[in-house]
């Protein structure tokens, strides 16, 4: 145990991100390579969820896991660099999106949370069919991602033990 | 701000005038909009002549109060808020008098409660104002909830939620009697009747314009309004007579008596309001045409004189910065116009001719002298004595505020008022106008004859209401009036001895003290309850949660009586392998000395279960669980940094035994439960058999989802369709809980860090393990795809 020193209160502007162990070059490189791949996988899971294994919940967990690998490799500073938005913002945005989807379905005589099929003509790609349930699922995705980020950043913020 | 807000009461007055023209003598205007038909809650409004009378009162007094408040409040950021809340308060009262649906009425009723809470607590930096606001909220809010129960009871018996239908065809029976009793509790609390009166005296913590409005036209009049509405239907019930007439008479006497010892002008008026409301309760509660006529006249008179007097106190307070009648001297000579208006208003309150208050009191006495009035002579005596007290405190008010120094109070009081600045004309105009209204209506009662007569008819009384007139010849009522005035004057002259007598006699059953004791008791009790149930020990919490989860489903499980047939031991040899891993890792985790090892072993258990899912053909579950396990281990590791490396060795044998027993019980229970539940289900979930079952009409939930997933929700992944569509509502709730829990974890962790003064000494204390539990708990409470 180290000597007493001021405790870190959450989000310091610059702490240097003291990692828990000496940074490993291999780990660092591998994580940088796989981080974006994992994010793409999570996006795929989110979109594919309605018809094959996946969904917003799993997608959010994968994205959270991707951020966790960044954290393991480089500590809190690296975590903050991986996703710029504040975790609480992501959390709130997710809940807002899901709730507003639920309310939007009241529009046009639908019931609360009654999803409908949407079809959009995207230029160069053609008609894309999706359901309003996708946006609901996207909200779930953001909530899960925000939760993981928030827990990592709060439990993992550098403390006296890391000094 | 208040000038802008004054447009609303002005519009109310204009609307009332227009509506009066359109409505005719006995017209009724009903508008109903559907809102929540399932609950019987409709936006059902009904304008009749009695509602019109209330509208006139609210509008006219509101207009005076708002224009007055424009000069009373100095500009500031709070003024806009006060104006808005006061307007909402007035609006709620308008809605209340117009509602015909009783649930809607309740809604407006509680709206006035909530807005009055905000208004009484306007000066929120003062402790007294805050506790007075809370007092009003608890008493009137509690009364309102009691009333809701009564409304539901009566509505069930009557078969309708319409107030007018109740009156035209009153239901009866024991349930109705109980319901009416509960409704009356609401009305009595709202109108500050004994024994619920203490909140009104405290409510004078509000700024004076607000008090004026609250005491004269709104809030306390709501209870009187409801009693007036219900009286033709229920006034013959015994519970009605005891509660309305009993509480009314008690309030009439007690309020008047207490007003005689107050030194704060506002408190004199506040106790006067309790007294006058008691009289109104008696008049409307008696259930005879004569009394109701007197009630309507007094309703108008009281609104005018009480508002005028409160606004006068506001002027006095604003210009001299005191409301103590022992300090105020010489204002009468300095402000002749204000003094004259206040004297007119006070004379109307005292019931002196030729003011409207006198007419109302004459008709009240006349009504009480009639045959067939419940309570008979007793009620008459109460009215006479109460009116004497009213005369005495009215005189005390005028004398105290505007007279010369009173020798009864002795010296020792700094005298204020001789050099008080004059109020501006706009500021003083509202109380003066309201004071003059009392005189005009007294001299020309025919102006309101139509309004009052139609209102009485609209309430549902049969027989024509007697026409109001100032002079009705020498009769018993006039003689009683003379007795009242004489008695009141004597009481006023003896004000010194009366005051000293009151100070010497302790008022034993003090309603205020009862309220304070009750509140204290609730706080202490809940504190103790929290101490007992919230031990702060994580193992105890988990033990209680787990045992509850076992015991509650155990009851239906026992009635089911175990599995009917045992399933095959295994479907695939891989399951044996994974099962072995799970068992070994679980035992090892329980035996581990080091925390980190235990966490890793728990992870091993989790991954082995993932393998089980894969073998069973549940890719969604497997995918989710593998991620949960991974992130769970990361979270554990982060928390473990703050904990000692090893578990604490325990010397007590029970410390290890009890968790072991609980764990075994839970494990056994889950085993039996899964077997039983599994054997109860139709496990054939192939597409064809599911479709057949749905067609046959005996499909299980899972079969139905299977069939409906693609055609109805356009999704082939049933798990996802269940999560976002079929059971989307659950998911919505779950993510909300997740967000709240996460923010709670963050708050706890940060608070724990802040509290630990010694940063290096983060042991296995209370602060750190708690969030750890919550975080993993939240992860497990996530929307699991297995719905």
User: Per-residue pLDDT tens for B611-633?
Assistant: 999 998 888 889 899 999 999 99
pLDDT for the residue B780: 38
Contact B631 A58 (CB under 8 A): no
Give mean pLDDT, residues B169-193.
93
Q: Which residue stretches of B45-76 are H helix?
A: 49-72
Spatial separation of the C-alpha atoms in residues B253 and B491, rounded to whole Å: 14
pLDDT band at B87 (very low <50, low <70, confident <90, very high): very high
pLDDT for the residue B561: 65
Contact A161 B739 (CB under 8 A): no
Cα–Cα distances in angstroms (integers) from residue B164 to residues A129, B155, B171, B305, in the given order:
55, 12, 12, 31
- Under DSSP, is residue B416 helix (H, G, I), strand (E, B) or coil? strand
Which regions of chain A does DSSP assign to beta strands (E)? Answer: 117-122, 126-131
pLDDT for the residue A75: 81
Pairing of strands A117-122, B41-47: unpaired
pLDDT band at B782 (very low <50, low <70, confident <90, very high): very low
More confident residue, B38 or B762: B38
> Rg of the Cα trace of chain B?
36
The secondary element (H helix, E strand) that includes residue B392 is: helix B377-402
The secondary element (H helix, E strand) that includes residue B769 is: helix B769-780
Q: Which residues contact B521 (CB under 8 A, 6 or more apart)?
A: none
Cα–Cα distances in angstroms (integers) from residue B85 to residues B5, B77, B117, B144, in the given order:
10, 13, 10, 20
Contact B729 A113 (CB under 8 A): yes
pLDDT band at A121 (very low <50, low <70, confident <90, very high): confident
More confident residue, B331 or B678: B331
Q: Give the minimum alpha-carbon distance from A37 to chain B in angstroms, rounded to a whole number.
A: 16
**List of chain A residues whose C-beta atoms are within 8 Å of the C-beta of residue B643:** none
Give mean pLDDT, residues B27-46.
86
- Under DSSP, is residue A15 helix (H, G, I), strand (E, B) or coil? coil
Contact B629, A64 (CB under 8 A): no
Please name the member of A94, A102, A160 whose beta carbon is closest to the beta carbon of B759. A160
Burial of B154 (0-12, 13-18, 19+ CB in 10 A): buried
**First CA to last CA across chain B, in angstroms?**
55
User: What was the ipTM of the complex prediction?
Assistant: 0.80
pLDDT > 70 in chain B, percent? 91
Q: Which residues contact B505 (CB under 8 A, 6 or more apart)?
A: none
Contact B250, B95 (CB under 8 A): no
Strand partners, A118: A130
What sign results for the dihedral spanned by CA atoms B519, B90, B342, B74?
positive
What sign results for the dihedral spanned by CA atoms B34, B35, B39, B42?
negative
Q: Of A104-108, B72-76, B390-394, which has the strongest mean pLDDT?
A: B390-394
Contact A9 B750 (CB under 8 A): yes
DSSP state of B94: H
pLDDT band at B770 (very low <50, low <70, confident <90, very high): very low
pLDDT > 70 in chain A, percent? 75
Closest CA to A145 of B725, B633, B738: B738
pLDDT > 90 in chain B, percent? 44
Closest CA to B306 of B3, B51, B60: B60
Main-chain phi, psi angles of B417, to 5 degrees: 125, -25
Contact B635 A151 (CB under 8 A): yes
More confident residue, A147 or A80: A147
Minimum mean pLDDT among B4-8, B335-339, B524-528, B723-727: which range? B723-727
More confident residue, B745 or B150: B150
* pLDDT(B697) > 80: no
**List of chain A residues whose C-beta atoms are within 8 Å of the C-beta of residue B758:** 4
Helix axes B377-402, B495-504, angle to 10 degrees: 110
Strand partners, A122: A126
pLDDT band at A2 (very low <50, low <70, confident <90, very high): very low
Please name the member of A6, A133, A151 whose beta carbon is closest to the beta carbon of B742. A151
Spatial separation of the C-alpha atoms in residues B268 and B261, rounded to whole Å: 8
* pLDDT(B95) > 70: yes
Contact B134, B114 (CB under 8 A): no
Main-chain phi, psi angles of B260, to 5 degrees: -75, -10
DSSP state of B646: B
- Under DSSP, is residue A21 helix (H, G, I), strand (E, B) or coil? coil
pLDDT for the residue A26: 86
Pairing of strands B29-36, B41-47: antiparallel
Spatial separation of the C-alpha atoms in residues A99 and B728, rounded to whole Å: 11
DSSP per-residue codes, B15-39: HHHHHHHHH-SS--EEEEEEEEGGG
How high does pLDDT run on average in chain A? 77
pLDDT for the residue B784: 36
pLDDT band at B526 (very low <50, low <70, confident <90, very high): very high
Measured at the CA of B554, the angle between CA B553 and CA B558, to 5 degrees, comes to: 125
The string of pLDDT tens digits covering residues B629-685 is: 999 998 888 888 888 888 877 666 667 788 888 989 999 888 888 888 777 665 566
DSSP per-residue codes, B418-469: TTPPPPPHHHHHHHHHHHHHHHHHHH-THHHHHHHHHHHHHHT--SPPPPP-
Give mean pLDDT, residues B504-529.
85
Q: Dihedral, CA atoms, A86, A90, A91, A94, nearest 10 degrees?
A: 170
Contact A65 B627 (CB under 8 A): yes
Give mean pLDDT, residues B64-72.
91
Minimum mean pLDDT among A97-106, B154-163, B688-697: which range? B688-697
Q: From the DSSP assignment, how many helices (H) and strands (E) are in chain B?
A: 34, 2
Contact B762, B697 (CB under 8 A): no
Give mean pLDDT, residues B341-367.
92
pLDDT band at B711 (very low <50, low <70, confident <90, very high): confident
pLDDT for the residue B508: 61
Burial of B272 (0-12, 13-18, 19+ CB in 10 A): buried
Give mean pLDDT, residues A105-133.
71
Contact B760 A160 (CB under 8 A): yes
Spatial separation of the C-alpha atoms in residues B79 and B73, rounded to whole Å: 7
Please name the member of A3, A133, A146 whose beta carbon is closest to the beta carbon of B725. A133
- Under DSSP, is residue B724 helix (H, G, I), strand (E, B) or coil? helix
Spatial separation of the C-alpha atoms in residues B263 and B265, rounded to whole Å: 6
Which regions of B117-195 does DSSP assign to beta strands (E)? Answer: none
The secondary element (H helix, E strand) that includes residue A140 is: helix A132-155
Give mean pLDDT, residues B479-496.
89
* pLDDT(B562) > 70: no
pLDDT for the residue B760: 41
* pLDDT(B79) > 80: yes
More confident residue, A110 or B469: B469
Please name the member of B619, B639, B778 whose beta carbon is closest to the beta carbon of A53. B619
More confident residue, B747 or B705: B747
Give mean pLDDT, residues B80-106.
93
For residue A93, give the chain B residue with the closest CA: B739
Q: Give the minimum alpha-carbon distance from B781 to chain A in angstroms, rounded to a whole number.
A: 12
Establish if A140 touches chain B: CB-CB under 8 angstroms: yes
Spatial separation of the C-alpha atoms in residues B576 and B578, rounded to whole Å: 6
Contact A55 B720 (CB under 8 A): yes
Give mean pLDDT, residues B102-129.
92
More confident residue, B414 or B767: B414
Contact A155 B639 (CB under 8 A): yes
Q: Give the minimum alpha-carbon distance from B549 to chain A in angstroms, rounded to a whole number.
A: 26
pLDDT for the residue B648: 74
Contact B378, B295 (CB under 8 A): no
Q: Give the minimum alpha-carbon distance from A128 to chain B in angstroms, rounded to a whole number.
A: 14
More confident residue, B659 or B773: B659
pLDDT band at A10 (very low <50, low <70, confident <90, very high): very low
Threshold 0.90, pTM exceeds: no
Minimum mean pLDDT among A45-49, A50-54, B158-162, B575-579: which range? A50-54
Contact A55 B719 (CB under 8 A): yes
More confident residue, A149 or B761: A149
Interface of A with B in 62-91 (CB under 8 A): 62, 64-65, 68, 71-72, 88, 91
| Chain centroid offset of residue B424 CA | 39
Spatial separation of the C-alpha atoms in residues B47 and B671, rounded to whole Å: 66
DSSP state of B99: B
How many residues would you count in chain B? 787
pLDDT band at B42 (very low <50, low <70, confident <90, very high): confident
Give mean pLDDT, residues B52-58.
94
Establish if A10 touches chain B: CB-CB under 8 angstroms: yes
Main-chain phi, psi angles of A131, to 5 degrees: -115, 155
More confident residue, B752 or B12: B12
Main-chain phi, psi angles of B646, to 5 degrees: -105, 155
Minimum mean pLDDT among A116-125, B59-68, B200-209, B364-373: which range? A116-125
* pLDDT(A11) > 50: no
pLDDT for the residue B658: 84
How high does pLDDT run on average in chain B? 85
Contact B287, B203 (CB under 8 A): no
Q: Which residues contact B659 (CB under 8 A, 6 or more apart)?
A: B539, B543
Spatial separation of the C-alpha atoms in residues A141 and A18, rounded to whole Å: 30
Spatial separation of the C-alpha atoms in residues B98 and B222, rounded to whole Å: 12
Q: Give the minimum alpha-carbon distance from A9 to chain B in angstroms, rounded to a whole number.
A: 7
pLDDT for the residue A108: 63
Spatial separation of the C-alpha atoms in residues B106 and B109, rounded to whole Å: 5
Q: Give the minimum alpha-carbon distance from B777 to chain A in angstroms, rounded to a whole number.
A: 13
Minimum mean pLDDT among A104-108, B137-141, B455-459, B518-522: which range? A104-108
Give mean pLDDT, residues A158-163.
50
């Amino acid at each position: 145990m180290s000597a007493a020193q001021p405790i870190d209160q959450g989000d310091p502007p610059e702490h240097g991100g003291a990692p828990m162990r000496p940074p490993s070059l291999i780990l660092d490189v591998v994580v940088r390579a796989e981080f974006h791949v994992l994010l793409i996988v999570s996006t795929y899971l989110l979109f594919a969820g309605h018809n094959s294994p996946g969904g917003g919940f799993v997608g959010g967990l994968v994205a959270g896991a991707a951020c966790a690998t960044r954290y393991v490799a480089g500590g809190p500073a690296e975590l903050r660099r991986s996703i710029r938005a504040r975790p609480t913002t992501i959390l709130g945005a997710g809940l807002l999106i899901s709730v507003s989807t639920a309310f939007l379905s009241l529009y046009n005589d639908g019931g609360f949370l009654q999803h409908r099929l949407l079809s959009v003509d995207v230029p160069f790609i053609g008609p894309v069919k999706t359901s309003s349930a996708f946006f609901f699922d996207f909200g779930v995705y953001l909530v899960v991602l925000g939760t993981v980020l928030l827990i990592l950043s709060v439990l993992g913020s550098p403390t006296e033990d890391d000094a | 701000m208040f000038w802008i807000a004054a447009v609303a009461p002005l519009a109310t007055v204009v609307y009332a005038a227009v509506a009066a023209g359109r409505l005719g003598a006995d017209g009724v205007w009903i508008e109903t909009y559907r809102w929540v038909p399932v609950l019987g809650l409709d936006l059902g409004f009904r304008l009749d002549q009695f509602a019109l009378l209330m509208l006139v009162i609210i509008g006219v007094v509101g207009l005076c109060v708002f224009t007055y408040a424009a000069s009373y409040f100095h500009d500031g950021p709070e003024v806009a808020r006060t104006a808005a809340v006061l307007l909402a308060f007035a609006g709620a009262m308008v809605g209340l008098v117009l509602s015909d649906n009783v649930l809607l009425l309740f809604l407006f009723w509680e709206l006035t409660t909530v807005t009055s809470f905000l208004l009484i607590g306007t000066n929120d930096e003062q402790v007294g104002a805050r506790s007075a606001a809370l007092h009003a909220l608890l008493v009137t809010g509690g009364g309102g909830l009691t009333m809701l129960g009564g409304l539901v009871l009566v509505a069930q018996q009557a078969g309708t939620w319409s107030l007018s239908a109740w009156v035209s065809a009153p239901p009866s029976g024991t349930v109705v009697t109980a319901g009416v009793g509960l409704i009356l509790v609401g009305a009595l609390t709202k109108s500050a009747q004994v024994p619920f009166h203490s909140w009104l005296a405290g409510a004078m913590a509000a700024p004076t314009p607000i008090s004026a409005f609250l005491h004269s036209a709104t809030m306390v009049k709501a209870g009187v309004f409801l009693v007036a509405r219900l009286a033709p239907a229920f006034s013959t019930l015994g519970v009605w007579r005891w509660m309305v007439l009993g509480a009314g008479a008690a309030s009439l006497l007690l309020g008047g008596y207490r007003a005689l010892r107050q030194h704060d002008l506002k408190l004199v008026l506040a106790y006067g309001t309790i007294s006058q409301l008691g009289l109104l309760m008696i008049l409307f509660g008696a259930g005879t045409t004569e009394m109701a006529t007197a009630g309507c006249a007094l309703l108008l008179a009281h609104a005018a004189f009480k508002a005028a007097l409160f606004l006068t106190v506001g002027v006095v307070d604003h210009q001299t910065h005191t409301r103590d009648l022992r300090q105020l001297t010489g204002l009468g000579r300095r402000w002749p116009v204000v003094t004259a208006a206040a004297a007119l208003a006070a004379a109307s309150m005292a019931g002196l001719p030729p003011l409207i208050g006198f007419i109302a009191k004459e008709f009240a006495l006349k009504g009480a002298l009639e045959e067939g009035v419940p309570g008979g002579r007793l009620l008459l005596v109460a009215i006479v004595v109460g009116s004497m007290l009213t005369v005495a405190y009215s005189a005390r008010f005028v004398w105290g505020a505007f007279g010369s120094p009173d020798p009864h109070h002795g010296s020792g009081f700094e005298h204020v008022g001789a050099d008080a600045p004059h109020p501006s004309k706009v500021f003083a105009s509202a109380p003066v106008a309201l004071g003059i209204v009392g005189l005009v209506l007294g001299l020309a009662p025919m102006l309101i004859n139509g309004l009052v007569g139609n209102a009485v008819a609209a309430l549902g009384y049969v027989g024509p209401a007697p026409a109001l007139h100032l002079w009705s010849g020498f009769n018993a009522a006039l003689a009683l009036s003379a007795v009242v005035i004489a008695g009141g004057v004597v009481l006023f002259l003896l004000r010194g001895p009366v005051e000293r007598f009151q100070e010497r006699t302790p008022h034993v059953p003090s309603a205020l003290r009862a309220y304070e004791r009750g509140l204290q008791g609730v706080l202490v009790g809940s504190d103790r309850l929290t101490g007992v149930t919230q031990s702060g020990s994580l193992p105890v919490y988990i033990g209680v949660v787990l045992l509850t989860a076992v015991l509650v489903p155990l009851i239906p499980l026992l009635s089911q009586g175990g599995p009917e047939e045992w399933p095959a031991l295994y479907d695939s040899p891989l399951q044996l392998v994974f099962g072995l891993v799970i068992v070994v890792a679980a035992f090892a985790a329980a035996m581990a000395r080091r925390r980190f090892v235990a966490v890793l072993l728990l992870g091993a258990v989790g991954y082995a279960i993932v393998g089980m899912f894969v073998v069973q053909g549940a890719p969604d579950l497997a995918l989710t669980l593998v991620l949960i396990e991974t992130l769970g281990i990361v979270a554990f590791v982060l928390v473990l940094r703050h904990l000692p490396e090893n578990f604490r060795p325990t010397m007590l044998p029970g410390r290890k035994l009890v968790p072991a027993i609980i764990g075994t019980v839970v494990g056994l229970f889950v085993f039996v439960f899964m077997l039983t539940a599994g054997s109860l289900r139709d496990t054939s979930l192939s597409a064809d058999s599911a479709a057949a079952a749905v067609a046959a009409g005996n499909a299980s939930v899972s079969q139905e989802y299977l069939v409906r997933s693609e055609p109805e929700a356009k999704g082939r992944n049933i798990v996802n369709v269940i999560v976002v569509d079929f059971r989307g509502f659950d998911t919505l709730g779950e993510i909300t809980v997740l967000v709240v829990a996460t923010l709670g974890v963050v708050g706890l962790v940060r608070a724990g860090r802040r509290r630990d003064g010694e940063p290096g000494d983060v042991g296995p204390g209370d602060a750190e393990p708690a969030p750890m539990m919550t975080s993993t708990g939240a992860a497990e409470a996530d929307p699991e795809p297995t719905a």
